[in-house]
Structure 1
Amino acid sequence: MPRILIIEDNEDNRDMLSRRLRRRGFDVVLATNGSEGVAMARTETPDLILMDLNMPDLDGWEATRLLKESPDTQHLPIVVLTAHEIPGNRERLIEAGCAEYHTKPVEMPRLLVQIESILKSIRRDS
């Protein structure tokens, strides 16, 4: 069962995503901010990370940078979740090492396709 780490400061978003992903058979672990998420990425061995961009403490940009700089976590695919669709953001995030970009409100069918595609690609490469 693939493990997904959700790094999201909004409790309602964490709850909705975790419930829906668990119903789909994923093992889900939760982090409430960027610092906690970076630490959990090292200890929880997720297969994929869903990362909110706008968080207090350590935002998604900085958390992604830290994860991609570390040999222990640089291989982890990150799907960014953001409420702010800014022109050029997707390209900048892909350049930063993110696997995908998804705007809120989350379109669950689309997000599931993105997740499955990334996980299938990882299995193929292994």
Structure 2
Amino acid sequence: MARVLIVDDNQAMVEALSIVVSARGHDALTALSGEEALRLIASEMLDVVLLDLTMPGLDGFETLDRLRTMPEGKDLPVLIITALDEEDLEDRVAEAGGNALLRKPVDVNRLADQIEVHTASTA
């Protein structure tokens, strides 16, 4: 079982992703902002983060940049989940340190596969 942090400012999306993550046997923690996510990353043992890009305050890229400077976040797998459809987004996510890009609406099977791939060494 992996401990998965879900970060999105949309409460309905957080709840939906939590259901999917929990149904696959994982422990879901949630944050509604980048700031809250960084606090949880510093205090919780996590296996993977699902991170939205478009949030008020710290957006996903800023959150990712900050978590990569933290000892707890340096090697933590981060799966970016977004509705953005920019041409170079996959490259930008990789350059920023994201491990995978998933587009909304999220394919739950692909999400589950990505969680498994990125937590296989910690299970």
2:81 pairs with 1:84: no
Q: Percent identity?
A: 35
Cα distance between partner residues in 2 of 1:116 and 1:76? 14
- In the alignment, what sits opposite 2:45? 45
- In the alignment, what sits opposite 2:7? 7
2:48 pairs with 1:36: no
2:113 pairs with 1:113: yes
Runs (4+) of structure 1 exceeding 2 A deviation are: none
2:16 pairs with 1:16: yes
How many residues align? The count is 123
**1:36-89 CA distances to partner (integer Å, 9 max, x unpaired)?**
011111111110000000001110000000001122311101000110121111
Cα distance between partner residues in 2 of 1:2 and 1:13? 20
Please, what is the CA RMSD of the aligned residues? Answer: 1.2
C-alpha displacement of 1:123: 3.7
Alignment of 1:54-69 (within 5 A): 54-69=54-69
**What amino acid is the match of 1:10?**
N
**What amino acid is the match of 2:84?**
H
Cα distance between partner residues in 2 of 1:115 and 1:123? 11
- In the alignment, what sits opposite 2:97? 97
Cα distance between partner residues in 2 of 1:103 and 1:76? 20
TM norm structure 2: 0.95
Structure 2 unaligned spans of 5+ = none
C-alpha displacement of 1:13: 0.5
- In the alignment, what sits opposite 2:71? 71
TM norm structure 1: 0.93
- Bigger relative contact order (CA 8 A; separation at least 6): 2
